[in-house]
């Protein structure tokens, strides 16, 4: 019974990783910027990298909140 919160946390972490990877592959990767001449690829890659970094920061924030909620609940019991 003591390991259930830890396994819940790990399960949620994996779900977020799979969802994040799916978002990047299906939605972010096909983005294509045109009309800027020679910097199309640089601008395209920069925007994709910025979105990926933002997604990582959001996922870390979500995991931190979930960790605090799960383990605070475990400590109070």
pLDDT tens readout for residues 57-77: 998 998 899 888 887 876 776
The C-alpha torsion from 14 through 16 and 17 to 20, rounded to 10°, is 160
Whether residue 63 is contained in a domain is answered as yes
pLDDT value, residue 6: 79
In a domain, 6, yes or no: no
* Residues ≥6 apart with Cβ < 8 Å to 18: none
Is residue 54 one of the residues assigned to a domain? Answer: yes
- Is the residue at 51 inside a domain? yes
pLDDT tens readout for residues 34-49: 888 888 889 989 999 9
Share of the chain above pLDDT 70, in %: 94
- Please tell me the predicted confidence (pLDDT) of residue 7: 84
Q: Give me the domain span that covers residue 57.
A: 38-72
Residue 24 has pLDDT above 80, yes or no: yes
If one counts the domains in the chain, the total is: 1
Q: Look at the pTM and tell me if it is higher than 0.95.
A: no
């Amino acid at each position: 019974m003591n390991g259930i919160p830890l396994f819940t946390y790990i399960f949620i972490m994996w779900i977020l990783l799979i969802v994040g990877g799916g978002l990047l592959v299906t939605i972010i990767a096909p983005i294509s910027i045109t009309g800027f001449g020679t910097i199309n690829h640089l601008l395209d890659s920069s925007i994709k990298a910025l979105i990926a970094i933002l997604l990582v920061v959001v996922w870390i924030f979500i995991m931190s909140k979930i960790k605090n909620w799960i383990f605070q609940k475990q400590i109070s019991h």
